[in-house]
Structure 1
Amino acid sequence: MEYKIAIVNSSSFGRVFPKHVEALKEIGKVEYFRVPNEISGRELAEKLNGFNIIISSVTPFFTKDFFENKDELFIISRHGIGYNNIDLAAAKNHNVFVSIVPPLVERNAVAENAVANLLALVRQTRNSSKAAIESHWTDRANFMGNNLTGKTFGVIGCGNIGSRVAEIFKYGFNGRVLVTDPKLDNEWAIKNKVELVPLELLLREADFISLNCTLNETSENIINYETLKLVKSGVYITNTARGALIEEKAIISAIEKGQVAGLATDVMISEPAESSHPYFGNPKILVTPHTSAYTYECLEGMGEKCLTDIRAVVKGEKPEYLVN
């Protein structure tokens, strides 16, 4: 059988590690696709007609309509750990495997970036570097920041990545760590001396907050006008999970009022974000283009996992880390 492999909307698979694409070519024909984020399921199915293996990014959305109009498809292998852009029930009904990268592959890279972006925001790294480039060295007093050592940290969503962020806060900054997560690993929490608390308490007491929860009906817009009324004045927030965890107008308002000191986000509701987005015009908001997983170690592991998935399917076996 001739296999046809589509790499859809991925800006990284095979780019940094060409060996992954070369390995795919030994299996079948490989082609890259760039499609609009909001493409309809039917149109997406038509564009991918004849392709029976897909490596996907965080976009587009593989909807029920997609699966109902798609010809033979064996697997969608996510080049990442999220899968909220794939209708899992529809995939199962059409006998399509959906697999993800093992959580540990992305754990350190994403957690470290959550803290790196937070530090860059708090210490005004971007703004002070710009001043240095423009020879405004005498303006350095304008770039005051805050210490993180010994402060209170809040982690919303303390699973694979959130738990690593909590560890960095605990052991890197000797801080008090509050976590909110209905599925917290209690043994881990006791070992690392972190406190499981209600969301309201976390918001009231944390000096710095990291968002690391999955996006679902209970977490969408978890940071909104009402919850932002509870946060400690001058709090900083970092988000490396999903843009829709934050109600954008609410966070902008809170920053303008001084309730929130700043936001560092690696994710947006709509990606790529337009340059006209109000986040970009605000000096207290740091945006990076969804690069938390962009370390050599992480991307190599992600690519190897996709290859393993596809080789398993070609052999008639089930891939690991199926989510449907």
Structure 2
Amino acid sequence: MAPKKVFSSYFLTEDAQKRLGSLGYDLDQSSADQLPRAEFLRRVKGVHGIICDSACQVDAETLDAAGDTLQVISTHSVGYNHVDLAEAHRRGIQTGHTPDVLTDAVADLALTLILMVLRRVVEAAAVIPTGQWCNQPTWMLGRQLRGKAVGIVGLGRIGEGVAQRLRGFGVSRILYSGRRPREEAALRVGAKFVSFDELVRQSDVVCICCSLNGSTYHLFTYDVFKLMKPTAVIINISRGGVIKQEDLVSALANKIIGGAGLDVMTPEPLPTDSHLLKYPNCVLLPHIGSATVEAHEAMGHLCIDNLQAGLEGKPLPHPIPQ
């Protein structure tokens, strides 16, 4: 029997390659930083399994290009809005993702962004090469996290991880909002369920940890920013589409809010002429929330677990919810 063909839209770790090789799969993988769409469609032709990440759109066009051999799509991510689930389901193609393994990495980065914005770390670091230090007592004053109210939009695994870390900083309150109360998680971290409007009004720091879907797309608009305290900061480690980005630019320009820290934005990569780059109180990172050795090793194993199960006609251990 001919080996199953697998295409990966990104270059796999050495361990992942060895494991796939031991399973006897015929692996084709891209080494390009950004795989051109036409090349992607050409290389998925006739494959049995696709490994992808969140930068790769797997839609009806992709499934048409792959053809009837395709059995499974395994995305190397927690999020899955880049996969057309309805179309895959209609064609009987299993879809899997890699939940749970990113919690620590992303929660760590959320705290990193909070502290970077509050303590003006990027602004301060930019002074070092210039030599223009200032000894005035009011120079480069930031704010401490102790005593602040922090609102978490979405108290899922990552939101809970953020809340756990916040407790060590002596915050005054942890608020959270979502579709419904998460009583067990809230009890573990001492968080209070409030309405979305109440959260944005009362919080000194608002941290977006929810998934991107129809109800959260452009959840944060200019009208929402106007509800926030003028000193409040917004942190996004979820998906760029949760914030209406041009409205965030306006809020920063008009000093409606105190600052922003974003690991995700729209589009990605962010254009080098983006207005977000104008504001020193806006800290931007290139979507590195999951970029730790530990997280990627764990994600790789989950991704291959899903792939292997799908190619063997078994239920996936980590299927994408339908």
Q: Identity over aligned residues, as a percent?
A: 24
Corresponding residue to 2:231 among 231, 234, 244: 234
Of 245, 252, 260, the match for 1:255: 252
Amino acid in the other structure paired with 2:46:
G
How far off its partner does 1:263 sit? 0.8
Q: Which residue of 2 aligns with 1:6?
A: 7
TM-score, L = length of structure 1 = 0.90
Alpha-carbon deviation of 1:20?
Answer: 1.1
- Report deviation, 1:122: 1.5
Instruction: Report deviation, 1:5.
Output: 1.8
Q: Please name the residue that 1:303 is paired with.
A: 300
The answer to whether the Cα contact below 8 Å between 2:145 and 2:169 also exists between their aligned partners in 1 is no
Q: Counterpart in 2 of 1:154?
A: 151
Q: CA deviation at 1:261?
A: 1.1
Q: In the TM superposition, what is the alpha-carbon distance from 1:36 to its structure 2 partner?
A: 6.4
- 1:223 maps to what in 2? 220
Over 3 Å counting, the alpha-carbon distance change for 1:314 and 1:66 in structure 2 is closer
Partner residue in 2 for 1:63? 59
Q: Distance in 2 between matches of 1:297 and 1:136?
A: 39
Match of 1:272 among 269, 273, 285: 269
Measured in 2, the distance between the counterparts of 1:181 and 1:207 equals 18
Query: What is the aligned residue count?
Result: 316
Larger mean CA deviation between 248-257 and 45-54 belongs to: 45-54
Structure 1, residues 223-256: CA drift from partner, whole Å, max 9, x if none?
1011111111111111010001111111111112
Deviation at 1:152, TM superposition (A): 0.4
Q: TM-score, normalised by structure 2?
A: 0.91
- Separation in structure 2 between the aligned mates of residue 163 and residue 38 of structure 1, nearest angstrom: 37
**Corresponding residue for 1:173?**
170
1:1-324 alignment to 2 at 5 Å? Answer: 1-8=2-9, 10=10, 14=12, 17-26=13-22, 27-33=24-30, 34=32, 39=37, 44-71=40-67, 72-103=69-100, 105-138=101-134, 141-323=138-320, 324=322
Ranges of 4+ aligned residues in structure 1 off by more than 6 Å = 35-38
In structure 2, relative to structure 1, the CA distance for the partners of 1:37 and 1:19 (3 Å cut) is closer
Which AA in structure 2 matches 1:89? Answer: A
Cα deviation code 1:137-157 (max 9, x no counterpart) = 336853210011011001011
Structure 1 gaps of 5+ residues are none
Alpha-carbon separation, structure 1, partners of 2:36 and 2:240: 16
Q: For residues 311 and 112 of structure 1, do their structure 2 counterparts lie closer, same or farther at Cα, with a shift above 3 Å needed?
A: same
**Aligned CA-pair RMSD:** 2.1
Amino acid at match of 1:150: G
Shift of 1:38: 9.3
The verdict on how the C-alpha distance between 1:174 and 1:229 changes in structure 2, with shifts beyond 3 A counting, is closer
